Amino acid sequence: MTKFLLGAATSAHQVEGNNDRSDTWAAEHLPHTTFAEPSGQALDHYHLYKEDLKLLKQAGLNAYRFTIEWARLEPAQGQIDQGELAHYREKLTYCHELGLTPIVTLHHFSSPKWVIEQGGWENPAVADWFAAYASLIVTELGDQLSYICTINEANMGLQLADMIAERLKGTASSVQVGINTVSRFSEQMLLLRKDYQAAFGAETPAFFLSPRTEKGDTIIMQAHIKARRAIKSLRPDMQVGLTLSLHDFQASLGGETLAEQAWDKEFSHYLPVLEEDDFLGVQNYTRKVVNSQGTMSPSGDLPLTQMGYEVYPQALEHVLRRVASQLSIPLLVTENGIATADDEQRISFIDQALTGLARCREDGLPILGYLYWSLLDNFEWQKGYSMTFGLIAVDRQTQERQVKLSLSYLGQQLERFKNKH
């Protein structure tokens, strides 16, 4: 029987530090950037990962999801950094020494700068570039891997496009990622476009976290399909999937049709691709209540996270059940968490989320595990370091780690799932 995976997740750019070969690093340092602050040294997880993983293991957890950063491995097209490959091999080896199952993500929002300079995620050629990168990882590191998430939140670009459209209509909208938007008509945007032209050769570069066209959505799926094929050709037994950002859509006041359409765009239209995968990474943080006009703002008496969306841990169970009703492959919760300064609130959130997940497993849903987001208080993209999702706090002046009670609480929950189908 496959063990239940219980652990935490990070992404390379948000924790490693000095990812200066990536598009995100370049975007952070533009004169008119929308980033609140640059990532800088981040949490120096690149050098301190052993300390962090020991804390994860000591808490009683058995799995760790992290990114192998494409921009580090291939800083220029076709140029492979052997030192970086050696670094990630050492990290994978250390996971196994501790008894942690590594779940590796190949792409988590940040890309090599050269990818964006050549048309980014709206250029069909990116699918072949990404597949070649996936082949490299499996050829060099595949003996250390059993789970690969090709692309993190492959649907995020469509969500961003919808968010902008809804805000232009004057209805509420949010996404499960730290994005700061500026009006496309503002002076800052005009100046930012000049910055983009100078840095990337295009006024509207196609970052992974750019509002995506339907063509771009198809390209993302092609990148996943080609990467999956490349991985399977080398390691047929490798468990391969992608992850999706999913909301618990709830209809209110005549919003049934719009809620169903939103779910289709966020999930259902990907089914023909997902059905060929070994698992799906489910990433959920909250719900969206939809009426006949669109997404409603949470009422004033509801608690909100630091990200500005509703604290609603029940959403995870609802999403898992809905996904399982449409898709018959195993599910792995690759992200679920809360940005809050109150660790008691975090513990309560984890408890309620895992209680719902346990009910799903008792009802026979094929759930492989749960990975809390995030192991560390990290760099939340354009919002900088102000969002505290982590199980571990970090003093960024000294890089000293301070374990929160929520880390040990999460570790204690493994007993709930041992020896249970």
pLDDT in tens, 390-406: 999 999 999 999 999 99
- Stretch 38-60: mean pLDDT, rounded? 98
End-to-end CA distance of the chain: 8
Count CA atoms closer than 13 A to 296's CA, side-chain side: 17
Is 166 marked active-site?
no
Q: Give tens-digit pLDDT for 177-215.
A: 878 777 666 788 899 999 999 999 999 999 999 999 999
As a whole number, mean pLDDT of residues 268-279 equals 98
Which of 28, 69, 74, 153 is an active site residue? 153
Confidence of residue 266 (pLDDT cuts 50, 70, 90): very high
Per-residue pLDDT for 297 more than 60?
yes
Specify whether the backbone of 294 is left (phi greater than 0), alpha (psi in -120 to 50) or beta: left
pLDDT band at 282 (very low <50, low <70, confident <90, very high): very high
The alpha-carbon radius of gyration of the chain (Å, integer) is 20
- Whether 334 and 282 have beta carbons less than 8 Å apart is answered as yes
Does the structure show a pLDDT above 80 at 102? Answer: yes
What's the sign of the alpha-carbon dihedral 303, 306, 308, 309? Answer: negative
pLDDT of residue 57: 98
Q: Are 197 and 203 in contact (CB under 8 A)?
A: yes
Q: What percent of the chain has pLDDT over 90?
A: 90
Dump pLDDT digits (tens) for 356-387. Answer: 999 999 999 999 999 999 999 999 999 999 99
The pLDDT, as a whole number, for residue 166 is: 74
Residue 383 to residue 178: CA distance in whole angstroms: 5
CA distances from 36 to 39, 160, 180, 354 (A): 10, 18, 8, 33
How does the average pLDDT of the chain come out, rounded? 95
The distance of Cα 60 from the centroid of its chain, to the nearest Å, equals 23
**Contacts (Cβ under 8 Å, ≥6 apart) of 339:** 305, 306, 307, 380, 387, 388, 389
Report the predicted TM-score, pTM, of the whole model to 2 decimal places.
Answer: 0.96
Residues 334-360, mean pLDDT to the nearest whole number: 98
Q: Following DSSP, what letter does each residue of 224-254 receive, concatenated?
A: HHHHHHHHHHH-TT-EEE-EEE--EEEE-SS
At residue 172 the predicted structure's pLDDT band, cuts being 50, 70 and 90, is: low
Phi, psi torsion values for 37, nearest 5 degrees:
-165, 160
Q: Delineate the domains of the chain, giving CATH numbers in brackets.
A: 5-417 (3.20.20.80)
Mean pLDDT of 161-168: 77
Q: Residue 170 pLDDT > 70, yes or no?
A: no
